[in-house]
Chains A and B, each alone.
Chain A
């Protein structure tokens, strides 16, 4: 089983809908991240969490919110989806202050 699991893997929805992307991990890491990737661009940080009570905005947090329900679970919500939020979304975890981040397989989100 994957260490970092994202659900759903693919989602197509309409403008204005509320959407939740979920991430769960079995690595026991405190730090979790949400990134988005647009074609031809690298990953950009949306939100990150150092533990259950510590949530921080990243570079592009507008239009998104997150919830850290437990050490193992970190959800990303789009309150009212718009077409320019169509992208590939990645969740990642990290076990220490510095070191490698471990990525899920991504969620491909299309907003019509």
Chain B
């Protein structure tokens, strides 16, 4: 119940295309869903996050879509650029008072944008 399942493991998209990465969870107590971006040899950095009271959040070319009934959330990267090539991690957590501040991480998706 604590798992977050991420797919695909790797993804190749042409420049200008839409990149879509999906995550699914079981624990309905999760109430915070961030996406992190990691470049080789660097630490991950928060990209965008969503709470379950909204179905979509957009920041520039990055959008999170959230489907509470299906217990799924996804990251969409519009107009994908070579500089977006990185590994993307989804994660989830419960209310801080219940979770000891822990994030449950997906396994990651290696995204390659072809010029």
Tell me whether A and B are bound partners.
no
